[in-house]
């Protein structure tokens, strides 16, 4: 039986005391590729923030891997995030550190100490995302597509159970967006679970997956027309 990595049942999601989504029931099975769609402000990012512990679950039931979101304490949030790979629209690379130090920072922050193992792990994830750059370069010296590949590599460093991508192609041109989507698909084909929020409907058509839509405070599955 396939295990659900993310699961919500009758969940309520609030932001600043206001209900954003209610009666959320959603399962993300291991090895699946799921799109989360909806207009800006429909609750996609709020749902994603709840998954990685940035927003507390306001009601109902929710779990991510072995973590029960209804009982999640602040001290558990770093442990939860180590099981996730999160990729953002604006890359969120540290601007004052070069690429090598951006990647080493994540590993050192999660307890890695052996320099040889750190270097081996970084080289492995860079190979996975298909990029070769000078590690001494700073983020501003790279193109948007290169920065996003580095951000995806960073999300893979601690062997996450799931990659959560919040509008990962939002700041990229159409050609680069397609290349990044192909990268996510290739990771999925290797067994990675992917949950992606997007409003780029062209990508959903080109790269089919299960679709959930946020609309009018609800989340529901969209059955693709055949």
Is 213 in a helix, a strand, or coil?
Answer: strand
Residue 151 lies in a domain: no
pLDDT for 111 equals 84
Q: Alpha helices of 14-137 — where are they, by DSSP H?
A: 44-51, 77-82, 99-109, 115-128
- Single pTM value for the model: 0.90
Residue 168 lies in a domain: no
Bridge-based pairing of strands 33-37 and 210-215 is: parallel
Residue 51 lies in a domain: yes
Q: Supply φ then ψ for residue 94, to 5 degrees.
A: -75, 115
Residue where the block lists tokens 């004052």: 96
Is 147 in a helix, a strand, or coil?
Answer: helix
Number of domains in the chain: 1
Q: Which domain holds residue 43?
A: 1-78+193-226
Q: Is the dihedral of CA 133, 145, 137, 155 positive or negative?
A: negative
Supply the mean pLDDT for the chain: 91
Which of 87-91, 98-102, 157-161 has the largest mean confidence? 98-102
pLDDT for 44 equals 93
CA distance 180 to 9: 31
Contact criterion met (CB below 8 Å) for 182 and 148 = no
Residue 169 lies in a domain: no
Q: What is the mean pLDDT of residues 153-182?
A: 91
Residue 64 lies in a domain: yes
- Is the pLDDT at 154 greater than 80? The verdict is yes
Residue 204 lies in a domain: yes
The two tokens of residue 184 are 């996510």
pLDDT for 1 equals 63
CA distance 47 to 43: 6
Residue 2 DSSP class: P
Nearest by Cα to 91 from 45, 143, 43, 47: 143
Q: What is the CATH number of the domain that holds 48?
A: 3.40.50.300
- Is the pLDDT at 141 greater than 60? The verdict is yes
Nearest by Cα to 212 from 2, 31, 47, 12: 47
Residue 187 lies in a domain: no
Residue 132 lies in a domain: no
Contact criterion met (CB below 8 Å) for 11 and 57 = yes
- Is the pLDDT at 216 greater than 90? The verdict is yes
Residue where the block lists tokens 């192909």: 182
| Polymer length in residues for the chain | 226
């Amino acid at each position: 039986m396939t295990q659900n990595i993310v699961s919500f049942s009758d969940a309520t999601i609030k932001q600043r005391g206001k209900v954003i989504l209610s009666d959320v029931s959603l399962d993300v099975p291991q090895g699946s590729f799921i799109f989360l769609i909806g207009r800006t402000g429909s609750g996609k990012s709020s749902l994603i923030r709840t998954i990685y512990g940035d927003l507390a679950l306001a009601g109902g039931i929710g779990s991510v891997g072995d973590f029960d979101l209804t009982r999640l304490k602040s001290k558990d949030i770093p442990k939860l995030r180590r099981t996730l790979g999160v990729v953002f629209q604006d890359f969120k690379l540290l601007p004052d550190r070069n690429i090598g130090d951006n990647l080493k920072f994540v590993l050192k922050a999660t307890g890695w100490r052996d320099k040889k193992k750190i270097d081996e792990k970084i080289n492995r994830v860079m190979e996975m995302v298909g990029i070769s750059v000078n590690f001494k370069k700073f983020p501003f010296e790279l193109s948007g597509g290169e920065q996003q590949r580095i951000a995806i590599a960073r999300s893979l460093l601690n062997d996450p159970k799931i990659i959560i991508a919040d509008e990962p192609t939002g700041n990229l041109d159409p050609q680069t967006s397609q290349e990044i989507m192909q990268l996510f698909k290739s990771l999925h084909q290797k067994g990675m679970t992917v949950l992606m929020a997007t409003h780029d409907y062209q990508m959903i058509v080109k790269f089919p997956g299960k679709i959930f839509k946020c609309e009018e405070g609800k989340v529901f599955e969209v059955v693709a027309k055949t």
